[in-house]
A and B are shown apart, each in its own frame.
Chain A
Amino acid sequence: MTDKKTGMAREKLVNIHVNGTACEITVPAWRTLLEVLRELGHVEVKCGCEKGDCGACAVLLDGEVVDSCLTLAWNADRRSVMTVQGLGGPGKAHPLQTAFIEHGGAQCGYCTPGMILAAKALLDDIPNPSLDDIKRGLSGNLCRCTGYTRIFSAIRAAAQALRQEGGTS
């Protein structure tokens, strides 16, 4: 759709690779990646504050963790997005997911997808993080249930498991 007065595209066909699957969707400039992902059925991406405070909407965009509520869908055009589902799931859980279950790192679970993806980005950068590194890595993720300590121990355990596996993927 093109604006008659300005000749500018008001909507654009964007092509986003979500967890390895190409998705095409026509969206106007002001739609966020969060809105689009949920519209595409990726409701594992949570909507908390919609202003960058809570990290519930975090996804990996070309491997970098970002708040999808502050990312425009146009900006994800021809790029790869990973949600927590792309990381793993029942039957093929990622060590981070296993560790969150084993260490009680999730209670209501609302913060968990964002927490796990922020932790994944952290471990990709720093395979053997100190407690301070972990706290800094999760400084944009709020949890109202766990008090964080169980999340920290889950991440330490996952880091160890991944190092033993010899990879962080």
Chain B
Amino acid sequence: MLPSFELLEPHSLDEALKMLATSEATPLAGGTNLLPDLRAHGRAGRRFISLAALDQLRGVEHKGNRVIMGGSTTLNDILRDPLMPKAAPSLVSMAKVFAGTMIRNAATIAGNICYGSPSADAIPPLLSVDAEVTLTSAAGERTLPLDSFLLGYKKTAHQPDELLKTVAWTIPAADSANLFYKLGRRRGDAITVVGVAVTVVIESGSCSKARIALGSVAPTVFRAKEAENILIGGPLTAATIDQAALTAAQASRPIDDIRASAEYRRHAVHMLVRRLLTQAWQTSGAKQHD
């Protein structure tokens, strides 16, 4: 049995924000992080605010080349959105290997981001498309890059009175590739050993923009910025790609745990970044030069 708790059930966003401002309470979205945690080692008597009735927090809006995703959008909503394979290919690849069907129907994007786990699978793809998050509270709204929202191990810039309202990004340019790979012990229902998302933009045969985002290999999901910079300003040769991949591996700070050793994880970063960048160069380069 779960330890006892109180549950507030607001019917509008305003009502929810008022509750958050005036009482010490935790937002409860899909509950796929909170409820197992509560069952494993939670204390009784906490207070939660259910986001279930707040329809305006759920759904994806495509506006020109902008995508605006409500915080309560589920992982399966992402898979059901017909425009998503173009809007963020890496996010779709990720959603396909996220947990299992039942969890994907409950788990939300805001829950994944706000829990702040280093193995949060949605974060590398979102970092690879330069996503921004909008937080709202009774006092007002603020928007910041997802990159600066993540502060450390299970630490984010989220304030107790705020809700993550939307995640938004600009669709990657036409001559680009955006890829994700999750290394796990099995394909479904597994916690990520290494997660990698890359974006490469190619203009006239030269790489004009690169993003490399890594999960499960540091206290938080992060961008390997030094490695990204190595790729800018020229064609992606095998040597350049390997140097960037090695630099990304060196920037990782993985730990040993039951799923893998730190050494294995660092090696996997080198290999997976190299593989994804090669694939990205070939697909985006081929689009341009054939």
A binds B: yes
How many angstroms from the CA of A122 to the CA of B4 in the assembled complex?
Answer: 35
Q: Are B3 and A30 in contact (CB under 8 A)?
A: yes
Interface string of B98-134 (1 = CB under 8 A from A): 0111111110000000000000000000000000000
A118 within 8 A of B: yes
A141 within 8 A of B: yes
A121 within 8 A of B: yes
Q: Are A6 and B6 in contact (CB under 8 A)?
A: yes
Which of A51-59, A101-109, A155-163 contacts the other chain?
A51-59
**Which residue of A3, A52, A70, A72 contacts B6 across the interface (Cβ within 8 Å)?**
A3
Q: Are A74 and B7 in contact (CB under 8 A)?
A: yes
With A28-B4, A136-B188 given, is the CB distance from A66 to B106 under 8 Å?
yes
B187 within 8 A of A: yes
With A6-B6, A74-B9 given, is the CB distance from A118 to B101 under 8 Å?
yes
B100 to chain A, nearest CB (A): 2
A109 to chain B, nearest CB (A): 19
Query: Contacts of B100 on A, CB cut-off 8 Å?
Result: 55, 138-141
Interface size band for A? 35 or more
A5 to chain B, nearest CB (A): 10
A56 to chain B, nearest CB (A): 11
B31 within 8 A of A: yes
Looking across the interface, which residue of chain B has its beta carbon closest to that of A67? B102
A95 within 8 A of B: no
B211 to chain A, nearest CB (A): 27
B32 within 8 A of A: yes
Interface size band for B? 20 to 34
A22 within 8 A of B: no
A37 to chain B, nearest CB (A): 15
Q: Are A140 and B5 in contact (CB under 8 A)?
A: no
Interface centre among A51, A52, A121 (most CB of B within 10 A): A52
With A8-B8, A72-B7 given, is the CB distance from A66 to B2 under 8 Å?
no
Q: Are A70 and B105 in contact (CB under 8 A)?
A: no
Query: Contacts of B8 on A, CB cut-off 8 Å?
Result: 8
How many angstroms from the CA of A52 to the CA of B39 in the assembled complex?
Answer: 12
How many angstroms from the CA of A73 to the CA of B106 in the assembled complex?
Answer: 14
How many angstroms from the CA of A89 to the CA of B7 in the assembled complex?
Answer: 37
Query: Contacts of B187 on A, CB cut-off 8 Å?
Result: 135, 139
Query: Contacts of B189 on A, CB cut-off 8 Å?
Result: 53, 139-140, 142
How many angstroms from the CA of A58 to the CA of B102 in the assembled complex?
Answer: 7
B135 to chain A, nearest CB (A): 25
Q: Can you give 10 A-B contacts (C-beta < 8 A)?
A: A28-B4, A51-B36, A66-B105, A67-B102, A70-B106, A71-B106, A122-B101, A136-B96, A140-B103, A140-B104
Contact residues of A with B, CB < 8 Å? 3, 6, 8, 10, 28-32, 35, 50-53, 55, 58, 64-67, 70-72, 74-75, 118, 121-122, 135-142
